[in-house]
Structure 1
C-alpha cells in the first residue's frame, strides 16, 4: 500500500552523543544543543523546510525550529516550524514534513532536542497574574511582590515530568501497567541488560560512528554501561512504587534522564538526489498515530493499538517485518505492548483488527540497543529511532521492512512502516 501520493523517503541524519542527566551536556539548552546537529546536516544539503521540536516548555522561545536555524547562521529564507507530541515529537515532525512534500518542498530536515538537566522553573498561573497586574498598575509594588514570592508560587519539577491530568509520572503509570500485564522484574531486568549489551556492542563495532557527531564535551553516548550485569540490575531498588513491596521499575530498567538532539531527513525523489551519494534511506510506506484512554488502557500502551492497524492495512504479519525499532521508555513498556499484540483476542477486541499476525519475532527488536541504554531526550528520540532503523535496515536486501514505534505521554503513540528500496 502507498499511503502518500508520491514516494516518500526517510534518510539517516545525525545526532549528538546522548549525555547523562546532570552531566557533560547540562550547560546547553535545547536550542544550543540542536544547533551543531542542524549545522552538520545542513553542510550535507540545504533543506527546503525544517521541522523541529522540544517537549519541556520554555518561555524563552515559541518556535524552537526557527530559533535553532537562525542561531546556526543558516539561510534565513528556509522556513521552519515546531511540533510537540511528547516522546513522539520528532517522529511526528517526520510525518508532518512527509505530508508537505511537493509545491517547492523536496527535502525536509526534521528532529528535536531536549536538555532534561535544565527544566525551567515557572510561576503558577495565580502568581503570574498577580505580578502581571501589579506591573501594569504599580511597578514598585510588583517588585516587592516578586521578592516576597514563596515556594508555593512556583511550578517546581518535584514530580519530574508528571502527567498534568493525573499528577503522576510515566513511571508511576507504567508500574500499574506492568502489574496489569504481569510483567516481572526479572523480565524487565533481562531486557535492560540486553539493551545495554547491544548499545555497547554497537558503539564498539562502529555502528554509531556516522550517526553521531562529536561535541567538545562528549564524543559518545554516556548512558550505555559495559559493566552492568544481571546481578547489578537485580540489586537496584524500585524507583516509583517504593511502598507496596511490588514495585518492579528501577533506574536500571527505565530510560534515564538524558540530554541530546537528533535529526533525520524526509524527502521525495528529487530531494533524495540532493543528499550525498550513499546516504542510507528507506521508503516511508505508511504510518499510524494512535491514542487511548490512559485512565483505563495504560499511559504508554497506544503502540499496541497502532501496530495491528498499520500491519493489517498493509496486509502484513509479524514475520514480514525484518526489523523492529521500539522505543524503550521502560523495559516494561516494550514487554507490555508486545504482550498485548501477541494476544489475538485482545487485538480483535481493542483494535477491531480481525487479522492473525503469527508469532512475534523478539530476536529482531532493537539490535543496537534502545532508550533504556542509549537514553531518552524527549524531543530527540523519534529522530534517533528513525535514523538508527534506517541504517540498520540499509544492510538488508531490497524489499526488507521495518516497524518503528514510539509511545508517548498522554496515552498516545506513533508507528511507521519503512521499506528498503
Structure 2
C-alpha cells in the first residue's frame, strides 16, 4: 500500500470519527452506559479470540528480543481481559461528565448565561505496547461523548486489531456507530504522523508511552496535545520515617508491577536513617531481588551496590533495578527531585507532619504521597474507573485523567430578544 493511500485512509477514518461524534453528543447517559456493558460482556465472551491474537504479538516480541518489562506490558491473560471489562462497567457507574451546568448567572438585562460541560469531540490516542489502553481509552471516550481514533504500537498490532474487531461487532446493535471507534492498523510511521496535523478533524492528541513517543508528538503536533509523562518516581525516606512503613511502601512501589509508570525508580534516603536501619534495608532488598544502583554512601552500607552514574538518576528502569541517593536533609531530597523528576508521582515517608507538609508543598508533581505507595497514581485505584493517561502538564488536566479531562465547556445564553 502506498503512503499516499495510507494517508487517505487515515484522514477518512478521522472524518468518519468526527461524523460519529455528532451522534454521540445526542445520546443520554443511560444509552451510553448500556453500550459500555455490551462492550464489557463481548470482551469477556471473546477472551479466547483476543488471547490467540496476543500470542502472535508475544511470539514476535520474543523473537525481537523485547525486554521483560516491555513483554509484561504487552502480555494479556484471561484475568487482565476480565479486568478490562470490569473497568468498563466501573466507568458506566460514574457520573456523566457532560451536560452539567458548571455555573450560571443572569445579567442585568435578563440574559441567562450558563457554563456547560460538553465533549471534546474526537480524541486521537497514540500509545505503545499496552493493549489495555485500547479498551480503557475507548470506554472513557464513549462515556464522555467523544469519538476516538486509536493508533497503537506495532508490537501489539494483532492484539489491538482483535480487541477493536470485538468492540465493532458489539457496537453493531447499539446506538453508537462503530465509526466512533477508529483503529489505524498501518505500521507506516509517516502515515501515523498525519494524525499530528489533522486539526480540522482531531480535537486533541493524547500520547501514552515512552519518552521518545511523547516527545515526538509534543514537538511535531499542530493538534492540541494532552501530554502524559514518563515516570521517574521517587520515594524519600526521611530521618523520622517509620521503618516498617518505609520498607513496606518501598517494596510495594518497586516490585508490585515494576514495568508500569507509577512504579518507584529512585529511593532517596536520609543518611542517618540508612545508617541506623541498613540491616533491615539490605534484608528486604535481597529478599525481593532488587538491584541497587547507589551513590558512595549507599555503596558503603548496601553490599553489591552498582555504582550509580548520572544516567541512573534519570532512568525509568521499569525493572527490579533501583537507584539509591543518600541525603543529609529534606532540602537535598527536594533538590534532587527538582533536577531528575518527571512531575509524575513522588512520595515521602516520615512521621513529622511539618516535614511532610514541606515536601508536599515544594515538590512539583501531578501526584504526591505521604506515607503511601506511588502505585496509587492510577485512574482505577483513585476511583475514576479506567484512565486515559496521566498528565504531567498543568493546563486543562493534571494527574490521572478520567472522564472530566475529556470534556470542555460551552457558554450557552438564553434571552428574550436582548440586543447589545
What is the TM-score with the length of structure 2 in the denominator?
A: 0.26
Q: Which protein has the bigger helix share?
A: 2
Is the radius of gyration larger for structure 1 or structure 2?
A: 2
* TM-score (structure 1 length as normaliser): 0.26
